[in-house]
A = this chain, B = another copy of it.
Amino acid sequence: MDIYETKSIIKVLGNSKEILDDVVVTEYPLTIYLNKNEFVTILCTPKSLKELTIGFLIGEGIIENLSDISNIDLHLDRNISCVTLSDNINIENTLSKKDIRTTGCGRGSTFNLSINELSKHKLELSDDLVIKTSDIISNMNTFVKKSDLFRLTGGVHSVMLSDNNKELFFEDDIGRHNAVDKIIGNALIQKISLNSNILFTSGRISSEIIMKIAKAGLPVIISKSAPTSVAIELAEHLNITLIGFARGKRMNIYTHPQRVLVE
């Protein structure tokens, strides 16, 4: 399955035009089945789809770790990802969940949660994580140049997981939520604990992105773009360090600056 396709287009510059072949990002519908019940169709970039399936189910609160899944079968030609859940997962609760349309391709559950439930996802503030702004600037600089698919098509968001020194994984996708799900799924498969790692993203940060990373245990998110009001309030409550507008030598620290050393 190709992640980009060639299309014939007319390129216009001022009053001149030219017919040529150009590259566009592939959009691929992936339907996830849970124990043979159709659950959801995600429009995505056809890459890292097992990671996407796992990360999505974590973000939705369907599973909490990899042992909650007994099997995943991907059938790329039929656009389906068939998940068999472990016996301890109650599929009835799952399938009756309320539908929340978020600002991106994922269903946030933020507004379903009581303060008690929300507090279940609160991260520890006792971590010893200290991130230097000089490292953020240099990592962000590497990150924004990294997506070949963006350079080719201009149609994807990127996400990178870093351990504060080096890149662990990088993903891109037509949906900014999908890219986050792929990173979280990948970390689970590779048994990498997320609680001292940092997520870099090109996309805007709304409440459901914060809920996704809280459920995954990720304490720091750094974006090139803007956060929303509720994202900031949730990050504050859940002990997540939220940094936005990280561009060149600038950045805005919105919450929990104690993890950031300005130097």
Which A positions have Cβ atoms within 8 angstroms of B? 4-5, 7, 9-17, 22, 24-27, 29, 38-44, 98-108, 110-111, 133-134, 153-155, 174-175, 178, 204, 206-208, 225-232, 245, 249-254, 257, 260, 262-263
Contact = CB atoms under 8 A, between A and B. Distances in A.
Contacts of A260: 10
Contacts of A254: 7, 9, 24
| Copies of the chain in the assembly | 2
A229 B5 contact: yes
Which interface residue of A15, A44, A134, A155 has the most chain B CB atoms within 10 A? A155
Contacts of A253: 9-12, 17
Given A174-B103, A252-B10, A232 B98 contact: no
A200 to B, nearest CB: 16
A178 B102 CA distance: 10
A60 to B, nearest CB: 10
A102 B99 contact: no
B101 A25 contact: no
